[in-house]
Amino acid sequence: MTTQYEAEKNPVGTKEELSWLLHHGIKSLLRCDEAETVQGIARYVISKYRSLKAGSEFIEQNRQTLIPPIAAFLGAITRFLEVRVGHRLDGAVWIARLANERRVLETLPQLLPELDWIELKFCRRPDLASISALPKRLFPLRSRIFRLTRLLLRQEHKFFKVLRVMELIGYYTRYLEIFQKGNFSLAVMSSHSNPHGLAFNLAARRCNVPTVLITHGMPVRPVARLSYNLAVIHCEFARQIYSKAGCRMGQVIIHGRRQYYAPMPGGEKLPERLTIGIFLCKDVNEAKLDFVVKQLLNHSRVARILIRPHPKNLFIEFDEWFASLNDNRVCRSLNDSVSADLQESDIVLGGNSSVLVEAVTAGRPSGYIQSLDYGSFDLHEFVVRGLIYPVEDELDFDPDAILCFYQRSEWPSALRLYANVEDTEKAVANLLQSAIRELVAPNGPPGH
């Protein structure tokens, strides 16, 4: 997508204030937000919260006024103030705004303690450092932010996309100040499609700090075209996605899953009475979930249904819906560990969730249910590439047919495209350890 600001010369500031890297990031974010999954989640969240729905409608009704630019600038200020600097400005720096990001990054300080790790945290209440930096860093950009907001609105972008661009600018401006003041040896991230992840990567690159990406799931396409000195990614298919998107990755390591691997049941049949695990995405299609659960309850072989909501569950009426079932055969997961729920399940059902890869890796026959979430059909190509059994819309649930699908001779090849079952987590951790030490060595690979 070509937009007007691509052709303008420094449309939102001088090269010193908002570099080409930031313009590149803005274009990448707008392209990522074109994804139906992102737009579907945005519509879903807005529909769930009355205040967001009213605010969105108010902004859309006043697109030609000063209200949208002011709201966008406030969004940039909020994100600028959100970033909390640690007690030092050196060593290896990392960010984790969401729980799934933190889960894959928080072990790094123990893995490489000599790097003197420092986390840039996200706090709702700003500290003195961020407040004092605001007038010098972000306020001088307000006229340019206003102009860019109007430009994007004229191009018929929804306000949520415009707001995310301004959040990107807020984060980038804050991170750039921190990187310019600091003396960091490494920058590590997990998110690469949200404003905070894009901004962190771009600011680090501008200051020639080597960047490392450690992913926490399958990438949602389109992927932002970013550069990393080192990337630890979900699987071989994910590597192909990043490569086709134009990402530059100096070294690529694929997460190891050998310790989780278990073969599918062989000639034996599944138990006569089954526990069905339903693993949800954050954007739940409530009507489809209700239909699936009720159909399963009517199936003669289903003894129990275990439902695991997403850690960032957006289905705010879930508890109310769950109570309305009033059936002791349906239970909600209370386990912190996905693996524990997989072990309890004889068959796993899900939508566009990476947990289906974890399930079949653990030897659990699984089914893909279309429209269980608001992502596009077969978002990660689980079905088209023969990894996951497609459950028909009318839920003609046939456990033996599902098992037979995974006993095909060609299925192990599909699994290896999505899961590295040759290497263990420990082996990959050792590779990561060596790669990072080489990266931060005085004579290591050049930054960018």
- Is beta strand 183-189 parallel, antiparallel or unpaired with respect to 389-391? unpaired
Lowest mean pLDDT among 51-65, 209-223, 293-307: 51-65
Question: Is 325 a residue whose pLDDT tops 60?
Answer: yes
Return d(Cα 412, Cα 270) in angstroms, integer. Answer: 19
Tell me which H or E stretch contains 264: none
- Give the residue with greater pLDDT, 56 vs 417: 417
> Per residue in 74-101, pLDDT tens?
999 999 999 999 888 999 999 999 888 9
Q: List the structure tokens of 96.
A: 């984790």
Question: Is 5 a residue whose pLDDT tops 50?
Answer: no
Return d(Cα 79, Cα 289) in angstroms, integer. Answer: 35
Across 255-262, average pLDDT: 96
The model's pTM is 0.90
Torsion, Cα 176 180 184 188, to 10 degrees, reads: 10
- What Rg, from alpha-carbon coordinates, does the chain have? 23
* Cβ atoms < 10 Å from Cβ of 429: 17
Across 128-138, average pLDDT: 95
Q: List the structure tokens of 436.
A: 């990072």
pLDDT for 18 equals 52
Return d(Cα 149, Cα 281) in angstroms, integer. Answer: 32
Question: Is 13 a residue whose pLDDT tops 90?
Answer: no
* Cβ atoms < 10 Å from Cβ of 2: 7
Question: Is 8 a residue whose pLDDT tops 60?
Answer: no
CB 208 within 8 A of CB 190: no
Return d(Cα 398, Cα 383) in angstroms, integer. Answer: 17
> Per residue in 332-355, pLDDT tens?
999 988 999 999 999 999 999 999
Amino acid letter, 116: D
Question: Is 247 a residue whose pLDDT tops 80?
Answer: yes
Question: Is 301 a residue whose pLDDT tops 60?
Answer: yes
Return d(Cα 408, Cα 414) in angstroms, integer. Answer: 11
Q: How confident is the model at residue 9 (pLDDT cuts 50, 70, 90)?
A: very low
Return d(Cα 28, Cα 20) in angstroms, integer. Answer: 12
Dmax of the chain from CA atoms?
70
Q: List the structure tokens of 380.
A: 């990660």
pLDDT for 147 equals 94
Phi, psi of 311 (to 5 degrees): -55, -30
Question: Is 378 a residue whose pLDDT tops 70?
Answer: yes
Residues 6+ apart with CB under 8 A from 72: 145, 146, 149, 159, 162, 163, 165, 166
